[in-house]
Amino acid sequence: MTQSEVLKLHPNDNVLIALRDLRKGERIDFSDQSFALTTDVPQKHKFATEDLTSGAAVLMYGVLVGKAIEPIQKGSVLNTRNIRHDALSFHEKSAQYDWTPPDISHWKHRTFLGYRRADGQVGTRNYWLVVPLVFCENRNIESSAEGLPAAGS
Protein backbone atom coordinates (compact mmCIF):
# COMPACT_ATOMS: atom_id res chain seq x y z
CA MET A 1 0.00 0.00 0.00
CA THR A 2 1.31 3.44 -0.87
CA GLN A 3 1.03 6.42 1.45
CA SER A 4 -1.19 8.11 -1.16
CA GLU A 5 -3.97 5.62 -0.30
CA VAL A 6 -4.33 6.87 3.28
CA LEU A 7 -4.21 10.32 4.84
CA LYS A 8 -3.02 11.55 8.23
CA LEU A 9 -4.19 15.08 8.99
CA HIS A 10 -1.93 15.90 11.95
CA PRO A 11 1.21 14.26 13.37
CA ASN A 12 -0.53 13.61 16.74
CA ASP A 13 -3.52 11.79 15.18
CA ASN A 14 -4.11 8.15 16.06
CA VAL A 15 -6.34 7.57 13.03
CA LEU A 16 -5.78 7.41 9.29
CA ILE A 17 -8.34 8.15 6.58
CA ALA A 18 -8.87 5.65 3.76
CA LEU A 19 -8.65 7.33 0.36
CA ARG A 20 -10.06 4.20 -1.31
CA ASP A 21 -11.97 1.14 -0.11
CA LEU A 22 -9.54 -0.94 1.93
CA ARG A 23 -10.01 -4.63 2.68
CA LYS A 24 -9.47 -6.63 5.85
CA GLY A 25 -5.96 -8.11 5.84
CA GLU A 26 -4.43 -5.38 3.64
CA ARG A 27 -1.04 -4.26 4.87
CA ILE A 28 -0.70 -0.62 5.91
CA ASP A 29 2.80 0.84 5.75
CA PHE A 30 2.62 4.46 6.81
CA SER A 31 5.42 6.56 8.20
CA ASP A 32 7.16 4.28 10.71
CA GLN A 33 4.13 2.02 11.22
CA SER A 34 3.26 -1.28 9.60
CA PHE A 35 0.19 -3.40 10.36
CA ALA A 36 -2.64 -5.35 8.75
CA LEU A 37 -6.24 -4.09 8.70
CA THR A 38 -8.51 -6.06 11.01
CA THR A 39 -11.72 -4.89 9.26
CA ASP A 40 -12.80 -3.54 5.89
CA VAL A 41 -12.48 0.27 5.78
CA PRO A 42 -14.71 2.08 3.29
CA GLN A 43 -13.28 5.05 1.38
CA LYS A 44 -13.32 8.30 3.45
CA HIS A 45 -13.68 6.39 6.73
CA LYS A 46 -11.15 6.37 9.53
CA PHE A 47 -9.31 3.52 11.21
CA ALA A 48 -7.18 3.22 14.33
CA THR A 49 -3.38 3.30 14.06
CA GLU A 50 -2.96 1.95 17.58
CA ASP A 51 -4.88 -0.29 19.95
CA LEU A 52 -7.46 1.81 21.81
CA THR A 53 -8.85 0.72 25.16
CA SER A 54 -12.38 1.58 26.20
CA GLY A 55 -12.35 5.30 27.09
CA ALA A 56 -9.20 6.04 25.05
CA ALA A 57 -8.99 9.34 23.19
CA VAL A 58 -9.51 9.40 19.41
CA LEU A 59 -7.38 12.19 17.97
CA MET A 60 -7.90 13.81 14.57
CA TYR A 61 -6.73 17.25 13.39
CA GLY A 62 -4.43 17.00 16.42
CA VAL A 63 -7.36 17.35 18.83
CA LEU A 64 -9.80 15.14 20.71
CA VAL A 65 -12.76 14.20 18.47
CA GLY A 66 -14.07 11.17 20.31
CA LYS A 67 -13.55 8.39 22.83
CA ALA A 68 -13.60 4.65 22.32
CA ILE A 69 -16.65 3.04 23.92
CA GLU A 70 -15.16 -0.43 23.54
CA PRO A 71 -11.67 -1.75 22.80
CA ILE A 72 -10.63 -1.05 19.20
CA GLN A 73 -7.78 -2.97 17.58
CA LYS A 74 -5.12 -1.24 15.52
CA GLY A 75 -6.32 -1.45 11.92
CA SER A 76 -10.05 -1.44 12.76
CA VAL A 77 -12.59 0.94 11.27
CA LEU A 78 -14.03 3.65 13.53
CA ASN A 79 -17.80 4.03 13.56
CA THR A 80 -20.72 5.09 15.72
CA ARG A 81 -20.78 1.65 17.37
CA ASN A 82 -17.24 1.82 18.76
CA ILE A 83 -16.65 5.55 19.41
CA ARG A 84 -18.67 8.46 20.71
CA HIS A 85 -18.11 12.14 20.04
CA ASP A 86 -16.08 14.07 22.58
CA ALA A 87 -14.15 17.32 22.58
CA LEU A 88 -12.07 19.41 24.90
CA SER A 89 -13.86 22.29 26.55
CA PHE A 90 -13.61 25.73 25.00
CA HIS A 91 -11.20 28.17 26.59
CA GLU A 92 -10.14 31.72 25.94
CA LYS A 93 -6.82 32.33 24.23
CA SER A 94 -3.86 31.37 26.37
CA ALA A 95 -1.14 33.39 24.64
CA GLN A 96 -0.60 36.97 23.56
CA TYR A 97 -0.19 37.51 19.82
CA ASP A 98 1.39 40.56 18.26
CA TRP A 99 0.33 41.50 14.75
CA THR A 100 1.79 44.09 12.44
CA PRO A 101 -0.72 45.13 9.79
CA PRO A 102 0.55 44.97 6.20
CA ASP A 103 1.38 48.12 4.25
CA ILE A 104 -1.78 48.92 2.26
CA SER A 105 -0.68 52.31 0.93
CA HIS A 106 -0.49 50.83 -2.59
CA TRP A 107 -4.29 50.46 -2.60
CA LYS A 108 -5.10 53.83 -0.98
CA HIS A 109 -6.75 55.30 -4.10
CA ARG A 110 -8.23 52.06 -5.45
CA THR A 111 -11.96 51.34 -5.55
CA PHE A 112 -13.98 48.17 -5.52
CA LEU A 113 -17.35 46.99 -6.74
CA GLY A 114 -19.44 47.31 -3.61
CA TYR A 115 -22.20 49.40 -2.10
CA ARG A 116 -22.60 51.98 0.63
CA ARG A 117 -24.93 51.15 3.52
CA ALA A 118 -27.30 53.69 5.10
CA ASP A 119 -24.95 54.04 8.10
CA GLY A 120 -21.97 54.92 5.84
CA GLN A 121 -20.26 51.56 6.02
CA VAL A 122 -19.54 49.66 2.82
CA GLY A 123 -20.26 46.09 1.85
CA THR A 124 -19.72 43.55 -0.89
CA ARG A 125 -21.64 40.53 -2.06
CA ASN A 126 -20.45 37.44 -0.23
CA TYR A 127 -20.03 34.08 -1.88
CA TRP A 128 -19.51 31.16 0.46
CA LEU A 129 -17.71 27.98 -0.47
CA VAL A 130 -18.18 25.26 2.13
CA VAL A 131 -16.12 22.10 1.83
CA PRO A 132 -16.76 19.36 4.41
CA LEU A 133 -13.58 17.81 5.77
CA VAL A 134 -15.40 14.67 6.83
CA PHE A 135 -18.03 12.75 4.88
CA CYS A 136 -20.53 12.73 7.75
CA GLU A 137 -20.94 16.53 7.54
CA ASN A 138 -22.45 16.51 4.03
CA ARG A 139 -26.06 16.39 5.31
CA ASN A 140 -25.40 19.25 7.76
CA ILE A 141 -24.09 21.39 4.92
CA GLU A 142 -27.08 20.56 2.75
CA SER A 143 -29.41 21.55 5.62
CA SER A 144 -27.52 24.81 6.12
CA ALA A 145 -27.76 25.62 2.41
CA GLU A 146 -31.54 25.36 2.58
CA GLY A 147 -31.56 28.39 4.88
CA LEU A 148 -29.36 30.53 2.66
CA PRO A 149 -30.60 32.49 -0.37
CA ALA A 150 -29.63 31.06 -3.73
CA ALA A 151 -26.92 32.75 -5.79
CA GLY A 152 -28.30 35.75 -7.62
CA SER A 153 -31.11 36.29 -5.10
Ranges of each domain in the chain: 3-85
pLDDT at 32: 86
Does the pLDDT at position 12 exceed 60?
yes
Confidence tier at 153 by pLDDT (50, 70, 90)? low
pTM here? 0.61
Tell how far CA 152 is from the center of its chain: 30
Tell me what the mean pLDDT of segment 41-57 comes to: 96
Q: How far apart are CA 108 and CA 128, in angstroms?
A: 27
Tell me what the mean pLDDT of segment 18-27 comes to: 95
**CATH dotted code for 3-85:** 2.30.130.110
Does the pLDDT at position 43 exceed 90?
yes
Half-sphere exposure of 54 (CA within 13 A, CB side): 3
pLDDT at 140: 78
Does the pLDDT at position 71 exceed 90?
yes
pLDDT at 132: 76
Tell how far CA 128 is from the center of its chain: 18
pLDDT at 89: 82
